[in-house]
Structure 1
Amino acid sequence: MRIAVTGAAGSLGGRVVQLLGDRADVDVVAMTRRKLPAEAFPPQVEVAVANYADPPALRAALKGVDTLVLVSSDGPDAQVLLHHRNVVAAATAEGVGHVAALSSVDADVASPFCYAVVNRLTEDLLLSSGVPCSFARASLYVEFFQAWLIEARTTGLLRLPAADGRISLVARDDVARSLAALAVGEPTGRHHDITGPESVDLAGIASITTEAWGTPVAYVDIPDAVYCAETAASGLDPWWLYAFSSMFASVREQRWDRVRDDYAQLTGHSPVALRDALSAHG
């Protein structure tokens, strides 16, 4: 089986490449936007330089590919959706037999979160393309959320506009394992919710952080306008300020309050708990 992975230079895509590359029955194509040093991937992995914005390069990289793991592009939402359109068009043109795509637990055009809209539209693109597909709808990553926790460890306060929203934070490695499992299986034609084993509010996350790191952290709910003003003053790029603000709006709507056993069904293992993930990276 020949499996291509987009975003292979990133943390998630790179881990999927590693997991698939360890299998004797899989030939892996690591798709990257730019040429990387030869030692970036194991010697048995083929590397194809194919920018999401370059349809001919995408088609060339997907020639002879049985399965594509579509790891999301990044940047402004309109750009990401265009990139995904290009990938879906290339996969369709080259007769790829299965696309295992990354999506999100909040994949809904009615969501305030910009990437929830992109993810749902990407799912719809794939479903309408006729290419057999499977979706790993991931919750928010522990490693992504940890940036706010590290800051809170310094100040003692986790100041975010999340109200009483609950999140089932998931380890990124668990998401990678789910995508790898979907890639080597038959297309399921549906989504699989990849979540952590528990859903907790921000006060609970602060409490778990305190236990895992041994440093007192307390959650303070702040208005979105205050969050935006303070974050803008820190110099964050305006796009990412909008993206994060819209994400917390979706948290307040309880769109990430979901715990499912799909990860265990796909991999035969239990997902990593937040406390254990933080302890390992403390």
Structure 2
Amino acid sequence: MRIAVTGAAGGLGGRVVRLLADRADVDVVAMTRRKPPAEALPPRVEVAVADYADPAALRTALKGVDTLVFVSSDGPGARVLLHHRNVAAAAAAERVGHVAALSSVDADAASPFCYAVTNRLTEDLFLASGVPCSFARASLYTEFFRAWLIKARATGLLRLPAADGRISLVARDDVARALAALAVGEPTGRHHDITGPESADLAGIASIAAEVWKTPVAYVDIPADTYCAETAATGMDPWWLYAFASLFASVREQRWDRVRDDYARLTGRSPLALRDVLAAQG
């Protein structure tokens, strides 16, 4: 089986590449925007340079591919959606037999979160392409949220506009394992919710961090306007400020309060808990 993986130079795509490269029955094509150093990928892996903005390069990279593991683009939503449309069109043109695509638990055009809208529209693009699909709808990555916890570790306060919203944080490695498992299976034609083993509000998340790190960390709910003003003052790019602000709007709507067993059924493993990831990464 010949499996291509987009975003192969990134943390998630690179992990999927390594998981699939360990299988003797899989030939892996690592799709990247730029050619990576030789030591960055396993020796048996073929590299195909194909930018999401280059339809011809995408088609060339997908020639003879049985399955595509699609890891999302990033940046402003309109550009992301254009990139995703290019990939869907290339997969359909090259008659790829299966797309195992990354999405999010909050994949909903009615969500306030910009990427939740993009993810739902992307799912619709792939379904409309006629290519058989499976979707891994991931919850928020523990490693992503850890950046806010690291800041709180220094100050003692986790100041975010999440109200009493609950999140089932999931380890990035678990998302990679789920995508790899979907890639080697038959298309399911549906989505699979990839979540952590528990859901917690931000006070609970702060408490777990404090326990693991043996450092006081307390959650302080702040108004959304305060968060935007303080974050803008740091010089953050306006798009990312909007993305983070809209993310917390979706958290306040309890759109990430979901725990499912899809990961265990796909992989035969239990998902890592927040405390496990924090303890391992220090």
Normalised by the length of structure 1, the TM-score is 1.00
Aligned to 2:128: 128
Write the letter of the residue equivalent to 1:77: G
Aligned to 1:75: 75
Q: Deviations over 1:51-83 (max 9, x none)?
A: 000000000000000000000000001111000
Q: Superposition pairs for residues 147-166 of structure 1, below 5 Å?
A: 147-166=147-166
Aligned to 2:238: 238
Aligned to 2:140: 140
Q: What percent of counterpart residues are identical?
A: 85
Aligned to 1:183: 183
Which ranges of structure 1 fall in alignment gaps of 5 or more residues?
Answer: none
Q: Superposition pairs for residues 1-282 of structure 1, below 5 Å?
A: 1-282=1-282
Per the alignment, in what secondary structure is the counterpart of residue 251 of structure 2?
helix
Write the letter of the residue equivalent to 2:118: V
The alignment yields a C-alpha RMSD, in angstroms, of 0.4
Q: Deviations over 1:24-64 (max 9, x none)?
A: 00000000001121111111000000000000000000000
Cα displacement (A) at 1:98: 0.1
Q: Deviations over 1:137-170 (max 9, x none)?
A: 0000000000000000000000000000000000
Normalised by the length of structure 2, the TM-score is 1.00
Per the alignment, in what secondary structure is the counterpart of residue 264 of structure 2?
helix
Q: Distance in 2 between matches of 1:27 and 1:36?
A: 18
How many residues are matched? 282
Which ranges of structure 2 fall in alignment gaps of 5 or more residues?
Answer: none
